Structure 1
């Protein structure tokens, strides 16, 4: 019987990311960011860190990128896409969230120019300046009523919420 070689890192792995569709009536919280010298627009989003749940990552990324503290309400969907920016596959967990409070003094993550609230029409008009097709897709799925309970995403990581 052979023992697997654990020293090899040749296993393909996608990038796991989270995003929040934060709504205030007909407006959505967005970030304007600089990506490779170009301005792009995205929901508050980012990578899952080690030892955190997907829900914790979504709340953290929203706070770090916008200064907004949010409460997650639903999972909108899980989207898979190959980034044109770096060629890697992204698996994105898109959550719906409601805004709770804003700290305008909080410094925003590197590369984030500002947070802003836009309507769906204003977001669609950004066209190729959207960071990915998942931005508009997750808003449209939310508008279509796609809402899964947060309980469908479970974390068994130490220190994470159990849901």
Structure 2
């Protein structure tokens, strides 16, 4: 069997000091994560980031920068994830948006509120990405070169 990493996307969306996060069920536990998920066949990273955010939070977003490419090994399932994390601007909330199965709903939390809920984080990637964002890490979107 050949080892294959999982390509995922995530978004950091900040508005007035609050970050758009997702409360969801994962492995039978209620957890907090960034809007995030897997790339689908034929989808660009930017398309996936917008789709996943809408499906998990009900918000339309516009990616403005790449925060970074993160590698995370999940001890819970033995999977290695390659996460393309974007910085996105909230455009608008979609009324009555249908959220993915397992999603409880969106949360807007400050970094301090998130720290108080650290045991609920899906992984260490949640605060790691927010902290990189707060440090000012940014890369232009054209850093990612995709062919049609």
TM-score computed with the length of structure 2 as normaliser: 0.97
Which of 50, 59, 64 is the equivalent residue of 1:68? 59
Aligned length: 148
Quote the Cα distance in structure 1 between the aligned partners of 2:146 and 2:24: 30
1:109 is displaced (CA, Å) by 0.4
Q: Per-residue deviation at 1:128?
A: 2.5
Give 5+ residue unaligned stretches, structure 2: none
1:7-26 superposed matches below 5 A = 10-26=1-17
RMSD after superposition: 0.9
User: Residues 109-157 of structure 1, C-alpha deviation per residue, up to 9 Å, x if partnerless?
Assistant: 000001010001111222121111111111111110100000001211x
Of the three residues 98, 104, 108, the one matched with 1:113 is 104
Q: Of 40, 47, 54, which aligns to 2:38?
A: 47
Counterparts of residues 5-154 of structure 1 (less than 5 Å): 10-154=1-145
Structure 1: gaps of 5 or more residues: 1-9, 159-163
Bigger-Rg structure (1/2): 1
Where 2:87 maps in the other structure, the secondary structure is: strand
Please list every run of at least 4 consecutive aligned residues from structure 1 whose deviation after the TM superposition is greater than 4 angstroms: none
SS of 1:124's partner is: helix
Query: Residue by residue, what CA displacement relative to the aligned partner does 1:3-62 show, whole Å, maximum 9, x if unpaired?
Result: xxxxxxx22101111000011020000000011211000010000111011111001000
Q: TM-score, normalised by structure 1?
A: 0.88
